């Protein structure tokens, strides 16, 4: 549900969509890991949850979730495209409210982008930490 919330936010941004390829008529933002083999760059993979911990009090239940948003673009000699995608992702997620099913958003904060270049693709990773109370 957290990945879905991030997907919804990213896929509704016209500027970001304009920088990504499309996959089956939708923006190439995937909540499966890895991306489908026939997806073409540039694309985003927003699926990995490295940390998910309880954020409970005596009277409330909540969660702190980290989500890696991995941005990839073709390695063609310039990282301009992947940098622009990653910065847009950060802009859209850093301290921005999310609509999370069954939860009330409290706070989000991004770290990164960090470099994750490969031989065929330039990569940047933005990690968003999301804090939410259960409804």
Partner 1 sequence: MKLTWTPKEVKKMVKDVLLERGPDVGMFCETDARRRLDAITDPDTKRDKNYRRYLSEQILTNTVEEDGDDVVIRVGMKVGKAGQQHHGFYVETGSSTAPAHPFLRPAVFQNGKDIVGLLGD
Site for partner 1 in 48-67 (CB under 8 A): 48, 50-53, 66
Under the binding rule (CB under 8 A), the answer on residue 130 touching partner 1 is no
Task: Using the minimum distance from each CB to partner 1, give the nearer residue, 65 or 100.
Answer: 65
DSSP helix, strand, coil percent of the chain (3-state; round to 5): 20, 45, 35
From residue 12 to residue 51, what is the string marking binding to partner 1 with x (rule CB under 8 A)?
Answer: ---------------------xxx-x---x---x-xx-xx
Task: Using the minimum distance from each CB to partner 1, give the nearer residue, 1 or 114.
Answer: 114
DSSP state letter for 90: H
Residue 2's contacts (CB-CB under 8 Å, 6 or more residues apart) are 49, 63, 65, 67, 98, 100, 130, 132
């Amino acid at each position: 549900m957290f990945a879905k919330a991030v997907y919804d936010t990213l896929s509704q941004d016209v500027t970001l969509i304009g920088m990504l390829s499309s996959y089956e008529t939708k923006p190439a933002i995937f909540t499966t890991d890895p991306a489908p083999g026939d997806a073409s760059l540039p694309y985003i993979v927003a699926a990995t949850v490295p940390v998910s911990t309880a954020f409970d009090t005596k009277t409330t239940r909540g969660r702190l979730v980290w989500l890696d948003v991995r941005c990839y673009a073709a390695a063609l000699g310039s990282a301009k495209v992947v940098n622009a995608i990653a910065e847009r992702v950060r802009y859209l997620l850093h301290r921005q409210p999310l609509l999370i099913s069954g939860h009330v958003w409290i706070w989000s904060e991004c770290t990164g982008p960090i470099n994750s270049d490969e031989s065929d693709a330039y990569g940047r990773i933005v990690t968003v930490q999301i804090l939410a109370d259960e409804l």
